[in-house]
A = this chain, B = another copy of it.
Amino acid sequence: METKTATVSVLSSEQLLKHWQGHRNLTRRTIEAFPEKELFTFSVGGMRTFAQLAMEIIDLSNPGILGLVTNVWKDMADLPHHSGVGMPTTKEELLALWDETTKVIDTLWIQMTPERFQESTIAFGQYPGPVYGTLLYFIDNEIHHRGQGYVYLRALGIEPPFFWERP
């Protein structure tokens, strides 16, 4: 199998999956670092709680990965972090959704052809762009909100996990 153009060459699909799941592992440990109560109640500067930020990450990743692979997107308004319907109320529930998402990503990723990354899609029926760009947006959005979770943890006197550790 050949790539379509000579300049499309930074990293492989497998490397990007490993990169994403490495970040997801770190975010999972960030969720775990929160005390149960503060996960659902604490924030800084009137922002959302880390449970809400984590649920946004889950919502983008799954069903997002289905949209990336198949172009079938759910409506953003129906997702738990928007609608409130299906929002977890315990850390255990949140982590279970997280782990389910990890499996869905691994399963659907197999269907991502090398050509797919350069194709166009309209994420959640609203945001047009190339598949690689949408995927990077999901990852970047996760890093962005997790970084905010690190501030919440520091404000609570809790040391966050090491940023560079992505087992």
Please list the residues of chain A having a beta carbon within 8 angstroms of any beta carbon in chain B: 1-16, 19, 23, 44-47, 114-115, 117-118, 132-133, 136-137, 140-141, 143-148, 150-157, 163-164
B114 A47 Cβ-Cβ under 8 A? no
Can you tell how many copies of this chain the complex includes?
2
B9 A114 Cβ-Cβ under 8 A? yes
With A137-B164, A140-B143 in contact, is A46–B154 under 8 Å at CB? yes
Closest beta carbon of chain B to A95's beta carbon, Å: 22
B117 A154 Cβ-Cβ under 8 A? no
Closest beta carbon of chain B to A5's beta carbon, Å: 7
Closest beta carbon of chain B to A87's beta carbon, Å: 22
A143 surroundings in chain B (CB, below 8 A):
140, 143-144, 147
Give the residue name and chain of the B residue nearest to A114 (CB): B9
Which listed residue, B1, B10, B14, B154, touches A11 by the CB 8 Å rule? Answer: B10
With A137-B164, A151-B152 known, 19 other A-B pairs at CB within 8 A are A1-B7, A3-B3, A3-B9, A7-B12, A7-B14, A8-B9, A8-B11, A10-B10, A10-B15, A10-B16, A11-B11, A11-B136, A15-B132, A19-B136, A44-B154, A44-B155, A144-B144, A144-B150, A146-B147
| CB-CB nearest 9 A-B residue pairs | A45-B154, A147-B147, A45-B155, A9-B114, A144-B147, A7-B12, A1-B6, A151-B151, A3-B9
